[in-house]
Amino acid sequence: MLIDVHAHLDNELFSKNINELIEECKKNNVKEIINNGLNLESNKNTLELSKNFDLIKASFGLYPLEAEKINSSNFNKLKSHIIENSENIIAIGEIGLDGKYSKDLKLQEKYFTELLKLAKEINKPIIVHSRQAELKVLELLKINKMEKVVMHSFTGNKKIAKEIINNNWFFSIPPCIINSKHFQFLVEITPIENLLTETDSPYQYTNHEPNKPFFVKYSIEMISKIKNSNEKNISQKVFDNYKNVFIN
Ligand SMILES: [Zn+2]
């Protein structure tokens, strides 16, 4: 049983063959895929996908670089849409900060903080993007006393990773771990109880091919090697973690 906690299947790359893709995921034993919305339109498309396919669960968010483009009236619309659909979503994400491509990090912080508060109000876990802004993200998560947190494709240093583990938060591990010393090390230092799997499909291309949710099998393969356990056992543990964070 495989889990992808971070995908963007509403991306236009999948629009023509979404039915085939979902069938392929089922054949490959994928049990759940969390589709992460990036803005209001993408949140609406995410909801549609979750209604059409049992396999897909909805998470509504505001991508950090989208937060730089939004005005406060459109932000309020996005927020109301989340509140109206709180029964239909299992998380808030993708949200966070992006230092790499940021033009206005303060603006990103403002909306990220508002969404952290909203997640607490409606009692949802969060799926967090923290590229080149890991320390600031950690600070905001701590200030806002967040409980259920999944750090997506985390590329921060060991010190910050340890703090995330000490808070009993989660890392979702992408298929590129196969070739990434960084993710291999992250898995080494993280207890299995704090690991999940993700793809970020269709982003983070593998061999020039769009990423697909069932490629989490590569994450499981590598985690099993590092944790010296079999793949069945590891995928069961990751599934249990998934239930603990998103379902219970
Ligand atoms: Zn993403």
Cα of 94 vs centre of ligand 1, distance in Å, is 6
- Which residue's entry shows tokens 């995908």? 7
Cα of 83 vs centre of ligand 1, distance in Å, is 22
Cα of 8 vs centre of ligand 1, distance in Å, is 7
Cα of 234 vs centre of ligand 1, distance in Å, is 24
- Residue 35 dihedral angles phi and psi, to the nearest 5°: -85, 125
How high is the pLDDT of residue 208? 79
Cα of 7 vs centre of ligand 1, distance in Å, is 6
How high is the pLDDT of residue 147? 97
Cα of 128 vs centre of ligand 1, distance in Å, is 9
The pTM of this model reads 0.97
* Dist. CA 175–CA 187, nearest whole Å: 12
* Dist. CA 148–CA 116, nearest whole Å: 11
Cα of 198 vs centre of ligand 1, distance in Å, is 9
Cα of 214 vs centre of ligand 1, distance in Å, is 16
How high is the pLDDT of residue 209? 85
Cα of 213 vs centre of ligand 1, distance in Å, is 12
Angle at 182 between CA 177 and CA 185, to 5 degrees: 90
Cα of 27 vs centre of ligand 1, distance in Å, is 24
Cα of 204 vs centre of ligand 1, distance in Å, is 9
How high is the pLDDT of residue 171? 98
Q: Greatest CA separation found in the chain?
A: 51
Cα of 85 vs centre of ligand 1, distance in Å, is 21
HSE-up of 213 (CA within 13 Å, CB side)? 32
Question: Could you read off the pLDDT tens digit of each residue along the chain, which spans 248 residues?
Answer: 999 999 999 999 999 999 999 999 999 999 999 999 999 999 999 999 999 999 999 999 999 999 999 999 999 999 999 999 999 999 999 999 999 998 899 999 999 999 999 999 999 999 999 999 999 999 999 999 999 999 999 999 999 999 999 999 999 999 999 999 999 999 999 999 999 999 999 998 767 789 999 999 999 999 999 999 999 999 999 999 999 999 97
How high is the pLDDT of residue 248? 74
Structural domains of the chain, with CATH: 2-247 (3.20.20.140)
Cα of 205 vs centre of ligand 1, distance in Å, is 12
